[in-house]
Amino acid sequence: MAKKEYAFYPGCSSQKGASASNYLVSVNSMNKILDVKMTEIPDWNCCGASISYAESGELPRLAMNARNFALSEQYLPGQDIVATCAACWLGSRESKERLEHNNVLLADTNTALKEAGLNLKVIPEVRHMVEVLIEDLGYAELARHVKKPLDGMKIAGYVGCQTNRPFGISGESYENPMYLDKLIETVGAEATKYDQKVTCCGGALAFSEPDKAQAQIKDIIEAAYDSGAEMLVTPCPLCQANTEVYQGQINKKYGTKFQMPVLYYSQLMTLAYGGSAKDAGLDGQVIRARKMEEFAAK
């Protein structure tokens, strides 16, 4: 069977020097081992994320996403778009759904796209990296590549919002999705049980309403500690950043002693597949994952 190829939509935060650059490093390492081929969509642009709603209006936001669709179909025809970022995935999928269900919006979007020399006929499937892993490769294939199981490590899978709602991963529930726990177990670690798995980290409001967002983050980290977890693992760049970088501020505000590393699933997998700390982007942690560094060096 010919190997499936994908159109890659890395998103703004994954770029070099940006807040999720270590996510991309680990995804590249993981995909190399799993032999997943992804080609970046030429000249892709920002999806607008959820937070742009007030300034963007509807059609300009749809046009931005449609531009990515049109570029993908033009240069990588027939390939599914794969996003690693939860917000990119959601923004694109939401746009796809609206354009496919509303001919007026689709016609207006095409009129706008014409100004950029593009035209949209077919909208590709839009998928999250995790869907490719679970649905196209499957847990057995993911397990097959494990060289160094993460034996004895206790990890809280933090699913968060936007890879879970409103679309979610097929076959999973909104209230207690299991895919991240299964990925953790696939690489030999223990997924701890805690009640904040799908609680919101505050999202973009970590910027505009820091006190409220940090109160939510505090609940998540606290519950993860209570479950015996040594670290958090997430599929979303904003979840990762919010739950990692504000721990110091939360400690000051609440007198807590949080120091919990927050990793991406792709970092876990890269390490379990025998990759180095550098392959896994561990140098990109703000709270160093020392246990993982030691593990990688073994």
Partner 1 sequence: MSDMNQQMTAKYKNNFLKEIEEQAEMGDWVKMCMQCGVCSGSCPTNFHSGWDHPPQELFMLIRAGKRDEVLNSNSMWNCVSCYNCYVRCPRKIPITHIMHGIAEYAYRIGRAPKSQPTLHLSQTFWNNATKTGRVNEVKLTQTLYFKDGIASGIKKAMAMQDVALGLVKAKRLNPLEAVGISHKCKDIKGIHAMLDKARELEAKRKGRTA
Of residues 205 through 224, those in contact with partner 1 by CB under 8 A are 205, 207-209, 211-213, 215-216
User: Comparing C-alpha atoms, which of 284, 216, 203, 234 is closest to residue 19?
Assistant: 284
As measured in angstroms, the least distance from the Cβ of 92 to partner 1 is 14
User: Comparing C-alpha atoms, which of 297, 272, 16 is closest to residue 146?
Assistant: 272
Residues 279-298 that bind partner 1 (CB under 8 A): 283-286
Residue type, 169: I
The one-character DSSP state at 132 is I
Q: Determine the interface stretch with partner 1 among 137-145, 224-232, 256-264, 278-286 (rule: CB under 8 A).
A: 278-286
Residues 49-68 that bind partner 1 (CB under 8 A): 49-60, 62-64, 67
Residues 176-205 that bind partner 1 (CB under 8 A): 199-200, 202-205
Nearer to partner 1, 56 or 256 (CB): 56
155 phi/psi in degrees, rounded to 5: -130, 135
253 binds partner 1 (CB under 8 A): no
Nearer to partner 1, 33 or 39 (CB): 39
Nearer to partner 1, 3 or 121 (CB): 121
Cα 82 from Cα 61, distance rounded (Å): 19
Residue type, 142: L
Size, binding site for partner 1 by CB under 8 A:
71
As measured in angstroms, the least distance from the Cβ of 210 to partner 1 is 9
User: Radius of gyration of the chain from Cα atoms?
Assistant: 19
Nearer to partner 1, 63 or 268 (CB): 63
Query: What is residue 273's three-state secondary structure?
Result: coil
Q: Determine the interface stretch with partner 1 among 26-34, 113-121, 147-155, 179-187 (rule: CB under 8 A).
A: 113-121
As measured in angstroms, the least distance from the Cβ of 62 to partner 1 is 8
For the window 10-49, what string marks contact with partner 1 as x by the rule CB under 8 A?
--xx-xxxxxxxx--------------------xxxx-xx
Answer left, alpha or beta for residue 30, where phi above 0 means left and psi between -120 and 50 means alpha: alpha
Measured between alpha carbons, how far is residue 163 from residues 96, 166, 254, 296 in Å? 16, 8, 29, 28
Nearer to partner 1, 186 or 285 (CB): 285
CB atoms within 10 A of CB 209: 12
User: Comparing C-alpha atoms, which of 13, 15, 9 is closest to residue 237?
Assistant: 13
